[in-house]
Amino acid sequence: MDASFHRRKDKVVVIMGATGSGKSRLSIDLATLFPTSEIINSDKMQVYRGLDITTNKIPTAQRRGVPHHLLGDVDTDHYGEFSPADFRHHAADLIADITRRKNLPIVVGGSNSFVHALLVQNFDPHSHSNVFQQQQEEALISSELRYRCCFLWVDIAFPVLSQYLRDRVDDMLDSGMVDELAQFFDPDAARRTGFGIRKAIGVPEFDRFFNKYPPSMGQGGDDPLRERAYEEAVKAIKDNTCELAERQIGKIERLKRAGWDLRRIDATEAFRMVLTSGSSNGSGVWERQVLEPSVKIVKRFLME
């Protein structure tokens, strides 16, 4: 019999949640407390190089020295689209390597199709694109996993999350998102085919704006039409981000119904605090409501 049959499956911590729900913060906090941790990004836009503000990649300074993998590594122009099958292949190699070095892999990101592709025992790239479609639910989501997984699902009441996400877009704009998108803008429509990183929320919305008001035109003074087009692009980004979050939560709920043992951590209070006082730092709410329960769950998992 194949020797691998008797081998225990590798352990993986998986942090799930909608965009903006604090997964990166939790992953760094956990990695600081479990210092052998290494993070594998599972956000399908953050795997690509570029657009760091637009795709919300965690800045290097906030990584606190924790190794990150598949974060900004893939060049769309050379590689093309990084598919769920690619993710399964590369992330599995990383998990094997991290485990061999006796470290702990933590998979973090909002792309549930990537997470599903990586974890299921039997992966079929052809049916995978339908895996989250309503009518296919029972048939295609598999609960047979090839790793021992500890799932943490950071959840936030949707009205609080959507307000937070709208505010976050304003913060991203203040941090230079429009300049980043302007540098990325390609006036050659034929090359703007909408694959890879070009699908990131912000790119199509601002491509429409830059088509009318190319970056080379400069700020354009007080032109009210330009102002309105800009506001429309910003509103579209906010709406699309909230829709993405809603879809992601729907997918997570389906995985749970399909038998994935997701441990839900409610981060609503910590986010409410950010909305009312600008930060949850210093209040201890994040530590009490999100970090401490997560640490307990991970500790127990590592002892099993």
56 part of the interface to ligand ATP, by CB under 6 A: yes
For residue 269 the two structure tokens come to 């209070």
For residue 280 the two structure tokens come to 């949850």
Closest CA to 31 of 98, 112, 131: 98
With respect to ligand ATP, which residue has the nearer C-beta, 76 or 112? 112
244-249: long-range contacts, CB 8 A cutoff, minimum separation 24: 244/18, 244/19, 244/110, 244/201, 245/18, 245/19, 245/20, 245/21, 245/158, 245/161, 245/162, 245/165, 246/18, 246/158, 248/17, 248/18, 248/19, 248/110, 248/112, 249/18, 249/155, 249/158
Task: Confirm if 184 and 198 have CB atoms less than 8 A apart.
Answer: no
With respect to ligand ATP, which residue has the nearer C-beta, 68 or 272? 68
- Closest residue to ligand ATP, based on beta-carbon distance: 113
For residues 248 and 71, what is the distance between their CA atoms, to the nearest angstrom?
20
Contact with ligand ATP (CB under 6 A) among 112, 162, 280, 294? 112
E-state strands within the chain: 11-17, 37-41, 68-69, 104-108, 148-155, 262-266
199 part of the interface to ligand ATP, by CB under 6 A: yes
Contact with ligand ATP (CB under 6 A) among 82, 87, 123, 132? 132
Closest CB 55 distance from ligand ATP, rounded Å: 4
Closest CB 244 distance from ligand ATP, rounded Å: 5
- Interface of this chain with ligand ATP, residues 247 to 266, rule: CB under 6 A: 247-248, 251
For residues 179 and 116, what is the distance between their CA atoms, to the nearest angstrom?
35
For residues 269 and 291, what is the distance between their CA atoms, to the nearest angstrom?
13
Closest CB 191 distance from ligand ATP, rounded Å: 18
With respect to ligand ATP, which residue has the nearer C-beta, 194 or 278? 194
Closest CB 34 distance from ligand ATP, rounded Å: 25
161 part of the interface to ligand ATP, by CB under 6 A: no
Mask for 32-51, x = binds ligand ATP (CB under 6 A): -----------xxxx-----
For residue 212 the two structure tokens come to 């009318």
Contact with ligand ATP (CB under 6 A) among 110, 161, 205, 294? 110
Closest CB 257 distance from ligand ATP, rounded Å: 16
Q: Which residues contact ligand ATP by CB under 6 A?
A: 19, 43-46, 55-56, 110-113, 132, 199-201, 244, 247-248, 251
